[in-house]
Amino acid sequence: DAGVIQSPRHEVTEMGQEVTLRCKPISGHDYLFWYRQTMMRGLELLIYFNNNVPIDDSGMPEDRFSAKMPNASFSTLKIQPSEPRDSAVYFCASSLARPGVSPYNEQFFGPGTRLTVL
């Protein structure tokens, strides 16, 4: 299995530009999570989906952030317009949460996208 795939790995953009981060979860996983990691705030959840449906987006900082999961194998996190304070590493993770199925409840993380907004 290829694991969770994220693209791009690095993104440098200018303030005001639209940024789209992409994630392909592990095939068969029914949960998908977007996390952000910064020095100031550590690792924090932005939003998560179950069976492609957004369950909790209370961590999304503001309306500039939006996330979609059009199908079980693809999700996007969009920032429009981007600001320097959005600079961070964005992780996507997926998990399989069905009792009796291993590895139950373990979240597998992608390599992250390092976003720099100038």
Partner 1 sequence: AQKVTQAQTEISVVEKEDVTLDCVYETRDTTYYLFWYKQPPSGELVFLIRRNSFDEQNEISGRYSWNFQKSTSSFNFTITASQVVDSAVYFCALSINAGNMLTFGGGTRLMVKP
Q: Which residues contact 70 (CB under 8 A, 6 or more apart)?
A: 52
Query: Is residue 75 involved in binding partner 1 (CB under 8 A)?
Result: no
Query: Is residue 72 involved in binding partner 1 (CB under 8 A)?
Result: no
**Candidates 19-27, 65-73, 75-83, 103-111 — which segment interacts with partner 1 by CB under 8 A?**
103-111
Can you tell me which of 82, 112, 115, 117 binds partner 1, judged by CB under 8 A?
112
Can you tell me which of 24, 33, 79, 117 binds partner 1, judged by CB under 8 A?
33
Q: Which is nearer to partner 1, 16 or 104 (CB)?
A: 104
Q: What whole-number distance in Å separates Cα of residue 96 and Cα of residue 3? A: 13
Q: What whole-number distance in Å separates Cα of residue 71 and Cα of residue 62? A: 24
Is residue 97 within 8 Å of residue 105, measured between CB atoms? yes
